[in-house]
A and B are shown apart, each in its own frame.
Chain A
Amino acid sequence: MKKGSLKGRPGPLLFSFLMLLFSGLMAQTQTTITGIVQNNTQTPLAGVTIIIDGKGGAVTNDEGRFEIKAGPRSTLVFSYTGFKSKQVQLNGETRLTITLEDALETLDNVVVIGYGTSKKKDLTGSIASVKPESLQKFPAANVTDMLRGQAPGVLVTSNTTSPGGGATIRIRGNRSLSSNQAPLFLVDGMIVPHIDDLSPSDIESIDILKDASSQAIYGSRAANGVILVTTKRGKAGKMSVDLNSYVTVQRARRNFDVYSPDEFVALRYWAKLNDGVGNLGTKEDMNYAVVLDDQVMFDSYTSRNFVDWEDLMTKNALQNGNDISIRGGTDKMKYSVGLSYFKQDGVVDKSGYTRPGIRVNLDYTVAKWLNMGTNVYYSRPKTELNDGARFSTILTVPSIAKAYDDNGNLLREISTSGTINPLWYNREYNNEQNDEYLVLSAFANFKLFPGFSYKLTGNVRSNNRETGLYRTTQYPGSTGEGSLSNFKRSSYLIENLIMYAVPIPNKQHNLQVTLLQTFDEDLQKTTGFSFINSPSDAFEWNMAGDATVNGVTRSIQRTHAVSFAGRLQYNLMDKYLLTASVRKDGASVFGANNKWATMPSVALAWKINNEDFLQHANWIDLLKLRLSYGKVGNWAIPSYRTLGLSNSYEYILGDPAALNLGYLPSSQLLNQSLKWETTGSANAGIDLVAFRNRLTTSLEYYSTNTGNLLVQRTVPSITGYTSMWDNLGKTKSTGWEFSVSGIIIDKNDWQFTLGGSFSKQKNKIVEIDGRVDEKGNPINDLNNNWFIGQPINVAYNYVFGGIWQEGETPTPDQFLPGDATPTPGAIKIMDHNGDGKITTDDRKVYNLDPSWYATINASLVYKGFDMNLEFYTVQGVTKNNPWYYDFNYGGSLNGKLNGIKVNYWTPDNKSNEAPKPQYTASTPYFALLGLRDASYFRFRSATLGYTLSKNLTKKWHIERLRFYANATNIFTHTKYKSYSPEKEPSSYPETQGATLGINISF
């Protein structure tokens, strides 16, 4: 061994401990004390440091045992990296069994706050921390979706319900009008565009910064909230291995009916009758040849051979997740390795998702003054997509049809009129997206003198995505056509971080200073082309080179940012806490003179329970009042908006024809003085922990004002442009959040916990562009559906007022000027403003965002059994459902397409719900029927687990062995007719799942 090499260090260390031990021996009367140190699964811990009366020390041997000399009243402190230290006051004992608690379990109480951590009780801002247990409660395909319902103020909505589809997160609702509303995601400090590529099993914690004071350290791009994801790191001690595996059966469920064959014929009959088609027969005795007017349909109907399209297109599908995580290390070197594999088959043919991933996180203590670490993550998701645009046709093609010929071959056309078989479309369509994500990061942390550290971090992330699409020569209208595109996104972030715990001799004061400087680049490049006339269907898009290539595209988006930030955290007597920060950011996307913005914030907290007057209220563990105010920004506009880019146009000129290219400025008027959108936000919160931590509650109120909104405002077309990015207007949002968790029963065998969270949010537009009409009232932007004083995300339309009935004679003021006189069976517009006549003022603003949402969670542990139930509700949301009016979704009651069954008007069924069917004519104001209440209540998940007794599993060298069964989306109560209350019925079905799983730890 070389002299001075790092490997040699344990020797001197041991020596010094022995020295200490020796000096301790000198001090007082000693007895020999023996014992064992173990973790909470009774595994002995080797190398645990033992300090006796603050002086001497020892370490445990390989079997976790120790033998020391100490006085009968000595105080022993056991400490071990990765575990909570434990202090033991001897009372004459000579044999000890010490159980050290896993430090990870204490993460509940440590919150990642952005460039640092804080004990939960010392938090000054509003941060929701989501623990891995709540993330892993039930199998979900991606991390975003797992966050649903896990933190107040965080609303997760499905983006795409197909396998591999992501979800949208809104923190405390919408604030911006045009620009991006997505929060800032950071994984281990690296800015990422989304977290859908992560494996849930790699995640240690997710912390959501909700108020401006916590966000301000991320400054100008934090206005939509910040989501900090921390991945698991190694810990010193014995290697631990965790294995998780589950399999889920998924099925699609809808809450609506389509017309049965007989009902569909009746619909078509009425539609044709109302259009004046003759020779239809009577409704009791229809002339089916005329009503159906299609030989295949006629044959199908008269022989009563129908097709269940949904049954043919969808199936029960499996989902399977496996991961293994190995962690361990020594005081010097710690490792965490995770391997994961996730596979989801689609309930619709030809859709699916797989995501293999590997993560290696290493930490290495080089010297007392230096530690380093690296993170490596690689994953390769593959998404297969069905012919999405055609999926919904399984509901709209009539079941009076023929899907297969007599030999069982799929038919291309299902009726004489030539309607193409939806199964045919799907069969002849292939679409695949292959991603590759690679994240590399490394840091070096220099601890130059006590309390001071300087950390340099470098992060790179790349995402390569190849998307191929192919429609075979059998696909209607295709000559063997498709597209292939390659998207490459690479970003880097360099960060210089200085942290200094200012040594103040008076222990009443505690001051921490953080200084930060970062710069980052995000670069996106896309190359793509489409092609036709492929010589063969065999190789899909991979034969594109032999096909006729057209439409080659190339685009580049590059953004740069530079930031400086500073933060002070001050704690006075553990009662009064202050956090103040300021950040200055520069971003390349803005105009030359407006690139920089400065975002300050301040937060105060008062730990009331530490005051003398509450000294005797022992039942209170924590009572804390928090107040904060800060400014944050939003720069989320696409790059190059201040440059005025042109678009290219292709044309053929000449004889022989030759390609010519022309260029025109885009239809956006150039604005070179774009600047930051800024949000000022105040937050007040009160936290109460009581009854020996059995009750935890938190209540928050926030009020946010956003100004200089980055808005794609409408400009009159006569300018030659249609819109312009501009900074204008103001919005305000306010909300309440409440969370509570109580351990109701806490006995040896029994534990019952009940918790929940409630979030209420409201936003409104305060100002748009300051223009006023002749009466001095502010002008709304009807093009964008922006109304002063109304929520940001709204629809604006008339209100459905029922159906005109026979015998009612509409007077001209009961329908809109310019309209034809309504006839029986037509839609009535409600006199919404109650002025006795129908005018354009009778339109109503419909709020499309939920007004509140909540979660209730119950968990019960009895001996080896554990049970968890979760309920989730979203209320006060209106959502458009085109299936009630749109021709393409069978909603327009034309009798041509099948669709959601409604109670339509006929002369002998004087319905007040839906108008009369018409074969070709269309019904005015039909779209009003689409605005539906989409509130829902859902029994989201139930899990039942059983952990085998350790006595039994020990024999197999297994620390923990748990089996569980889970069901998701068990029951949903909603008036919104669809496969999912968050998606239109044409979207890929959201599924119910039943899971069996196993967790093993070694």
Chain B
Amino acid sequence: MEPLNIKSSKAAGHSKYSENSSRSHGSGISISHGDGGFKTGELIEKTIGRFIKNSILDNFEDSATLMFGKHKVAFTTDSYVIDPVFFPGGDIGKLSICGTVNDLATAGAVPKYLSLSFILEEGFPLVSLEKIMESVRKTLAEAGTDLIIVTGDTKVVNKGSADKIYINTSGIGIIDEKVCLSPSRIASGDRIILTGSVADHGMAVLSARKEFDFKTGLKSDCAPLNKLMAECLLCSNNIHAARDATRGGIARALTELARSSGHDFHINENSISVKKEARALCDFLGMDPLYVANEGKMAIFVSECDAAKVLDTVRKNKYGKDASIIGTVEKKGKGNIILETGLGTKRILDLYYSEQLPRIC
């Protein structure tokens, strides 16, 4: 999901101004609940999670790992709302397949079956829907010939009750019995591999928005990473965990894993690459690339002994050409990310507490 939504949504449905009473500035859902930062976590934990607690959900992973007899299965779901629907490097169709495939991949699963559901706004052009379905078809084919959509749903709502098109995909994948990827397996000394440059997707999408009027060759990095992951798992038994860096950026992915694993991470800021155009766009708008959304990048945690080998494998894959080792797992601590700058100074990389807004100051 694109964290930045600076347009008043047509679907807001509010027509009255609020009463002059509350200092807490509203008790409804705010846009920052969807930015992948602290507020999202708070919403999930305090408003949603407390009604449906169980030991599987408590793991708080992108995919749930389930046992069916001897078989290990990963199950995941995600919803896609993005503006604009067609952006440089992809569209909502491609995104909806990649996002779910990647969540399965980070669990070490081979994606097998997907569901595909739509909520369509009245008036959404059929021609656009066909283009989106063509993207879905192409992305499925790229992810693997035996990956199929087996069920789905379509709903249509009145004009103004949704913003063009929303998609939900859920996915099931099979995890080999020898594979176990989990934050609990992250160990001191593990190396952290990042599969490529950050901020491509978020900034490509933003640059496509009419109100900003940027012209750039920057494309979204939206890509299915299941084959990359499978290649890594084939070359090493010492991969402990993986997480794809989506909304909230690489900062969110690393923060979640640091907290889940209970380990501090030491990250080298200079080793995180940012494409020139992404840097310029971030500089124009005053945003921090570490918190900008990606849709085709993964952080992989691997034992030191296999790090070079896995890095090599990642780099051989077309989606991992710019991969690098960005840091090391330290001993058990508070789950802090200690970022070392190019000057050798250190700071804590925190989960971004609020949606990043374009700024001038």
A and B bind = no
Binding site for A on B (CB under 8 A): none
Q: Which residues of A contact B (CB under 8 A)?
A: none
